[in-house]
Amino acid sequence: MELIALEFILVLAVMTGLAWPMGRWLARCFDGGTDDTHWAPERLSYRALGVDPSERMGWARYGLALLLSNAAMMALAYLLLRLQGWLPLNGLGNAAQAPDLAFNTAASFITNTNWQAYGGEGSLSNATQMVAITFLMFCGATAGVAAAGGFIRALSRASSQDMGNYWVDFMRVLWRVMLPLCFVLALVYVWQGMPQTLSSEAVATTVEGARQQLILGPVASFESIKHIGTNGGGFFNVNAAHPFENPTPLSNVLHILSMLLIPSALTVTFGTMLAKTRQGWVFFGSFVVMFIGFLALVFSAEQAGNPLLARAGADQQLSATQGGGNMEGKELRFGIADTALFVSTTTAATTGSVNAMHDSLTPMGGFVPLAQMMLNSVFGGDGVGFINLIQYAILTVFLAGMMIGRTPEFLGKKIEAREIKLVMLSVLAHPASILGFTALACLWPDTAASLSNPGAHGFAEVLYAYTSGTANNGSAFAGLNANTPFFNTTIGLAMLIGRFFTLLPMLAMAGSLAAKKTVAAGPGTFPTATPLFMGLLVFVVLVVGGLTFLPALALGPVVEQLQMLQP
Amino acid sequence: MNTLNIPAPLAPATASPLQGLLGPCVRGALFVLLITGVAYPLVTTGMAQLVLPHQANGSLIRQGAVVVGSEHIGQWFEGAAYFHPRPSATRTPDPRDASQTVAAPYNAAASSGSNLGPTNPALIASVQERVAAYRQANGLAADAAVPVDAVTASASGLDPHISVANAQLQAVRVAQARGLSLALARQLVQQHTEGRVLGLLGEPRVNVLRLNIALDALKAGKE
């Protein structure tokens, strides 16, 4: 037990240690958006695109550039998925995805969700794994971080229409952060045992004489962007539970640290760019407080095990020779501790890769990923997680301002009706999509045929699917057969709503704050760089974000927990 | 004499935010595709093949010219003289009816967990079945508790490892089936136990394929 606590502390300490240099580096990338110190590959990129890197963009143009370029990328990847039969490197002869599935896949990867209604090894060729999936994973993540750069820049401005230049932000994040990090990490992953080859299989004759077909491919280059980009789609069906996607406990902890890297670093970037370091750490702290709470819950639930399995004769006790706990759907090399850490990280940083089957978690263990995706702001995905937290921060100063009867201020700007309307649009789009689509699916006649588990758990599978889609997470209670036209279309829409109904209103809100004058802090100003504010912020996230979903959670994991415990 | 006043084309009062975006968006998609979807994975592949060819090609274990498996991928063992891996939920298309699937443990071409929820009667029934089979195969008492990893399906269906507790219980059966001393079998298990990485990460574990290959090597050495 002490070892496990030590491991958790070590991971959080390394994460904090990495957040500082990474955050400073990102701030330099974004700060330089105003000068002309472009790197050679960046200048080449601007020339290839035909854009002027010195153009200044208002929020509307910045947002449109993001939206339209993402649309073009999504369309291109859709086309490539449909043309898989004509592309090379298809050693297994996999057929192209059907139109509804290809739409779902393209929407999923451009929105940084990486929900997969297909199993990688049985559906995609090495060519589409590279040109459709790896490509979109870079696009979605880079666009998210770029947007956070524009967003933070807007917060740092006063009386200005200028949000920066989207192309510069995108290309700098791509060339200075994503590509170099992914390349180095991919080689470390290969060292740990991940394949990186263009051939698609190796055939073995097992010790007992059977034939075993091992699927190979460019896995390591896929895995590094998958986690640094908080993407999360798997090369293989079982994602990072597959020994080739996650061969050792070391690769597992590297996955975890890369998922947390950019979301945690952006709080430092914020503190640096606004010269409010303390404020950045307050945001960082509120992330960590929530994260530790959820980690403790999922770890204790899984280590305690499943009383029904104990009654069936399974020994789930932790001892010197076994880790114990609920091992259904888990890998032995990770055990309970590394699985719990992965479960809470992947749904906090909304990556969505899994190193265990979430469908087989205990009810309270499964409650944690659901709740973190519903809150969507415990770290959150690359870029958007930080934007979500700011949305809650503005809501917090608004509520505090209402209590004392003063116009709320945030970062020296007055928060007025327009900002609150935009924040509320973003806050409400999230539950509206999750609960609306879940309700629709429950009424849809064919849904029952897609469920693999009866009762409350079956409902949780549907709820999980739309929560994961809307939160742009991508993990699943994978027993749900989601490859039907109904689920492909509705989850595809949920992903697009979840992404753009958060991102665009918040960019508009930042644009509106940037245009305002800074007001000097007065005696009535509520200071936001204090532990008190941190506590209030966590409280608002839990109450506003959490209460909305309480009835739905009660019908799923809470009921199932009671069922599991009944004698 | 010029009487015709040709009006100059009206310049737009304010530039549309769309102006000059469509071309860059389309070219940007193609350009980023070439960099991240083609160049990046190919360069990484070249480098990996150059520096770490063993791992890059799947960490294959060869006996002579024959590939017997991969260090990282578990395989199915049934014989009493071998250590058995964890249960696996992988399946394969039914040869008689391609629309159906049949159980095929350790099918490395279709990784899969069971995805059974914690209260699903199907999960409880299969655990009960595995517990009974494990007790019988290893000569355990009818009420002996069985290590949980031996009776639950792994996430991938390809888990290469079992727990030390599981291996030590099976050592009795394997030693008997091979006519080895129990001490020797236990010693082999100990030799093949991997500890925590850095003394901290992961779980102590035994790689079943490596252990079984070592068992066979022992026999070959004796003859």
DSSP element (H, E) containing B211? helix B208-222
Banded model confidence at residue B205, pLDDT cuts 50, 70, 90: very high
Of A10, A138, A333, the CB nearest to B32: A138
- Amino acid in position A259: M
Pick from B135, B156, B211, B213 the residue to mutate for testing the A interface (most A CBs within 10 Å): B156
Q: Is residue B78 part of a domain?
A: no
Tell me the average pLDDT across B68-91: 96
Closest CA to A298 of A350, A254, A361, A239: A361
Query: A227 burial class (0-12, 13-18, 19+ CB within 10 angstroms)?
Result: buried
Q: Is residue A244 part of a domain?
A: yes
- Residue B147's region, left for phi above 0, alpha for psi from -120 to 50, else beta, is beta
- DSSP state letter for A96: P
Chain B residues near residue A251 by CB distance under 8 angstroms: none
pLDDT averaged over every residue in chain A: 92
Tell me the average pLDDT across A530-549: 90
The torsion angles phi and psi of B63, rounded to 5 degrees, stand at -120, 105
Per-residue model confidence as pLDDT tens digits over A176-230: 999 999 999 999 999 999 999 999 999 999 999 999 999 999 999 999 999 999 9
Which regions of chain B does DSSP assign to beta strands (E)?
A: 60-63, 66-70, 91-93, 101-103, 146-147, 161-162, 193-194, 205-207
Closest CA to A461 of A378, A357, A336: A357
DSSP element (H, E) containing A391? helix A384-404
Q: Is residue B208 part of a domain?
A: yes
DSSP element (H, E) containing A409? strand A409-410
Of A196, A205, A324, the CB nearest to B44: A196
User: Which residues between 190 and 209 in chain B have a beta carbon less than 8 angstroms from any beta carbon of chain A?
Assistant: 196-205, 209
Q: Is residue B192 part of a domain?
A: yes
Q: Helix, strand, or coil here: B91? A: strand
Q: Is residue B89 part of a domain?
A: no
Q: Is residue B55 part of a domain?
A: no
> What integer pLDDT is reported at residue B13 of this predicted model?
41
Per-residue model confidence as pLDDT tens digits over B21-56: 899 999 999 999 999 999 999 999 999 999 999 999
Q: Is residue A267 part of a domain?
A: yes
Distance, in Å, from the CA atom of A498 to the CA atom of A362, rounded to the nearest integer, reads 27
Chain B residues near residue A182 by CB distance under 8 angstroms: 40
Kindly report the length of chain A. 567
Number of structural domains chain A divides into: 1
Distance, in Å, from the CA atom of A511 to the CA atom of B97, rounded to the nearest integer, reads 59
Cβ atoms of A58 and A511 closer than 8 Å: yes
Pick from A92, A228, A331 the residue to mutate for testing the B interface (most B CBs within 10 Å): A331
Give the Å distances, CA to CA, from A458 to A152, A174, A373, A478, A501.
41, 41, 18, 11, 28
Q: Is residue B99 part of a domain?
A: no
Give the Å distances, CA to CA, from B168 to A331, A533, B152, B201.
19, 54, 18, 22
Q: Is residue B222 part of a domain?
A: yes
Tell me the average pLDDT across A326-350: 94
Domain extent at residue B218: 160-223
- DSSP state letter for B70: E
> Bridge partners of A57?
A164
Q: Determine how β-strand B146-147 pairs with β-strand A314-315.
A: parallel
Of B31, B73, B135, the CB nearest to A48: B31
> What integer pLDDT is reported at residue B7 of this predicted model?
45
- DSSP state letter for B197: B
Contact B203 A323 (CB under 8 A): yes
- Other Cβ atoms less than 10 A from the Cβ of A516: the count is 17
Tokens of A539: 């409280």
> What integer pLDDT is reported at residue B10 of this predicted model?
41
Domain extent at residue A262: 22-273
Contact B200 A7 (CB under 8 A): yes
A35 touches chain B (CB under 8 A): no
Of A139, A248, A308, the CB nearest to B124: A308
Q: Is residue A487 part of a domain?
A: no
Contact B25 A72 (CB under 8 A): yes
Residues of chain A above pLDDT 70, percent? 99
Q: What is the DSSP string of A36-86?
A: ----HHHHHHHHHHT--TT--B-HHHHHHHHHHHHHHHHHHHHHHHHTGGG
Give the Å distances, CA to CA, from A363 to A36, A307, A340, A370, A565.
54, 12, 14, 11, 10
Per-residue model confidence as pLDDT tens digits over A4-41: 899 999 999 999 999 999 999 999 999 864 556 889 99
Q: Is residue B4 part of a domain?
A: no
- Give this complex's ipTM: 0.92
Number of structural domains chain B divides into: 1
Q: Is residue A87 part of a domain?
A: yes
> What integer pLDDT is reported at residue A35 of this predicted model?
58
Of A193, A215, A315, the CB nearest to B109: A215
Least CA distance to A355: which residue of chain B?
B155
Q: Is residue A213 part of a domain?
A: yes
> What integer pLDDT is reported at residue B1 of this predicted model?
41
Q: Is residue A320 part of a domain?
A: no
Least CA distance to B82: which residue of chain A?
A208
User: Which residues between 61 and 90 in chain A have a beta carbon less than 8 angstroms from any beta carbon of chain B?
Assistant: 61, 64-65, 68-69, 71-73, 75-76
Q: Is residue A398 part of a domain?
A: no
Per-residue model confidence as pLDDT tens digits over A400-448: 888 888 888 898 899 999 999 999 999 999 999 999 999 999 999 999 9
Q: Is residue A284 part of a domain?
A: no
B124 touches chain A (CB under 8 A): yes
- Amino acid in position A62: Y
Of B37, B43, B77, the CB nearest to A135: B37
Chain B residues near residue A252 by CB distance under 8 angstroms: 201-202
Per-residue model confidence as pLDDT tens digits over A118-158: 888 888 999 999 999 999 999 999 999 999 999 999 988 88
Q: Indicate if the pLDDT at residue A2 is higher than 90.
A: no
Distance, in Å, from the CA atom of A510 to the CA atom of A437, rounded to the nearest integer, reads 29
